[in-house]
Every structure is written in C-alpha cells, then in structure tokens.
Amino acid sequence: MDYSALFAQSLTNKGVTFTPVYHCFESVRSTHTGWNLRLPDFDTDILLLHFQDLVNIHDGRVLELEQIEQRYGSHADRVVVTYWNHGLDRIYTGPIRLVEFSNHNYDLVNQLYLRWMEWHHIVDEPKTQAWQCLNGRMCDHRNRVMQILKDWPGGTLSYHDRIRLPNYDYTQYTYNNVDNFINLDYVYSAAAVNIVTETEYATAPGIVSEKTLLAMAAEQIPIVIGHQGIVKHCEELGFDMFTDLVDVSYDTMSNDVRAEQAILLNQDLIQGRIDLAPYRERLYAQREFLLDDYATMMELRFDSAINNLNLR
C-alpha cells in the first residue's frame, strides 16, 4: 500500500476530515531555520503534514515544528505531523500532534519483498568474508571509522572516491536503494558482519535508514554507528541487535569517541574470530521479520497512534 493511501484510509475510518500535505519539505534547507515547509490554509478537522526526511534539531529545539507553531498559532493543536526521527516525541512537548512513520523505510521494505526473487541469492550463498563497511558519502564519523578499518584485513571497505569498490562505482549510486543493494550483491552476500555508518551521528534523535535495514535483509550481524542511542532505537523498532554478541556499550558514549569504540570494542567479531554458526537461525528470523512483518507492524502502529490522538 502507498503510504498516502494508508494515511487517508486510517483518518477516514476515524471520521476525521483532513487536509494532507504528503511532501511537506521543500527542496531548500537552512541550517538556521530547517527545511522550507509547505504550510497551507485549512478548514478541515486537521492538517496532516508528512515530514519525508529527517528534521533539524538545535539544542533540543525542532526547527520545523517551531515554524509550524509560528504559522498556525492557537490552531497548532489541529496539526498532525508524521515524522521519521525515532523518539522525536520525547523531546518535543508543544501543541502539535506527532505520529512516527518513515515512508522511506516503509517503501524500502515493500520493494524488498516484491523483488525478493532478484536478490534471494544474497542470503543463499555462504559468507566468505568477515566484514563490510560501505560509505558512499564522506563525513566526519565515516572518515573516523574508515581510518581504523583501512588497515584491517578480511573485509570490504569503501569511502566515496577515496576507496573505491571493484565492479560497481558506489560514488555514482542511484536513488533506488534496492537497485543499489542488488548491484552490491557480491559484497552483501560475502560479508558476515555489516559495520553500518548511518546518516545521522552528532544529533539525536536521528533516523534509522536503509543502511541498517539492508544489513537485516542480508542476514548480517549489524554494528550500527549512528546517533547516540541508535542501537536502543533499533530494538524499540523491533529488531534484534545481537547484544549478546555485539558489545553495544559504545551506543551511549559521547560523539567524540563513539565511532571509534564501536569498532575497537568489537574487534574480534569484526575480524572473524567468533563462530557465528549459533546465530544463523536468528539472522534468518530477522530477515523474515523485516520482509513479512515490519511493514504491517508500521501500519498497525500508525493506526494505533492516530486512535490515541483523539482528533475529534
């Protein structure tokens, strides 16, 4: 189901009239005020604004939500915002109604399911390498991880155009994440551990993106390096983070050491010194959960959250 149809169905079933803006973020993004927003007049029960990308958070302030409060004033409590940053509702206490939903991840999972026959060989083949760490975009935390891993054997590392992959130019990847996954099948099928350098690092709450979900799809042990608390956030979303195997104590560490400690605390695991055979059933179950249950769970959580808003 298209996410906009899901939203419309859920709200209509509640007898709520609404004005939807399914792509609220305009293309221009400011570091001082956040994204430019499409904020129309409305005369329905609610205005539904969907944040299709991550928000901008400064000192605990969500810049996009501040824009909405300023625009609608006393009517801000009639605005429902759907958002991606897991845990955003824990730092925002204003009048706008919040519902978590990532159309990015919802669409990704549905496409993975529909295209299973194109990539099932990734999980059918034996793992012949210890690890992978793919970095298409350069940024500080990825550079820090790369500086450690570049001298470690037994894995596949890429870092934009500084460390290129064989067979596929990762610097020219498409915007279709499933296409990229299939084009990189020779990496995902080989590596037992996936060191995921997520999109967000310095600011929490951040997002859980396709980078993490593709590790789950490939039946890999995930070591996820992102915003502080991202491992806990993944568990709250329903994922097995193998905390009996992966030392996740790094997840609560400060920004200046978290990236390095994620690698150093798990050196034996990354370098293939731990037998992963006992974890195969859980890796399989994780992939099954992602493909068969995760999208449905997102739908049910959305519907439950809308019910709890008491919009009428």
SS3 readout for 39-83: CCCCCCCEEEEECCCCCCEECCEEHHHHHHHHHHHHHHHHEEEEE
Pairwise CA distance, residues 269 & 24, whole Å: 42
The pLDDT of residue 258: 98
The pLDDT of residue 166: 85
- 159 touches 138 (CB < 8 A): yes
The pLDDT of residue 28: 81
Query: How many other C-beta atoms are found inside a 10 Å radius of the C-beta of residue 267?
Result: 12
Instruction: Say if residue 62 is exposed, middle or buried (CB neighbours under 10 Å; 0-12, 13-18, 19+).
Output: buried
The pLDDT of residue 231: 98
The pLDDT of residue 94: 96
Sites in the chain below the pLDDT cut of 50 = none
User: With the CA atoms of 229, 235, 238 and 240 taken in that order, what torsion angle do they form, in degrees rounded to the nearest 10?
Assistant: 130
- 148 touches 260 (CB < 8 A): yes
Pairwise CA distance, residues 132 & 190, whole Å: 9
User: Which residues of the chain are in CATH 3.40.50 domains?
Assistant: 106-293
The pLDDT of residue 31: 77
Pairwise CA distance, residues 29 & 16, whole Å: 32
The residue assigned the tokens 């109604």 is: 97
Supply 43's token pair: 């005369």
The pLDDT of residue 175: 75
CATH fold, domain 106-293, is Rossmann fold (3.40.50)
Supply 186's token pair: 């020779």
The pLDDT of residue 243: 98
- 18 touches 47 (CB < 8 A): yes
Pairwise CA distance, residues 18 & 198, whole Å: 34
Alpha helices in 120-266 (DSSP H): 121-124, 140-149, 177-183, 185-188, 210-217, 230-236, 258-264
Residue 100, phi then psi, degrees to nearest 5 = -80, 130
The pLDDT of residue 209: 97
Question: Each residue of 161-175: pLDDT tens digit?
Answer: 899 998 877 666 567
The pLDDT of residue 104: 97
Query: How many other C-beta atoms are found inside a 10 Å radius of the C-beta of residue 75?
Result: 12
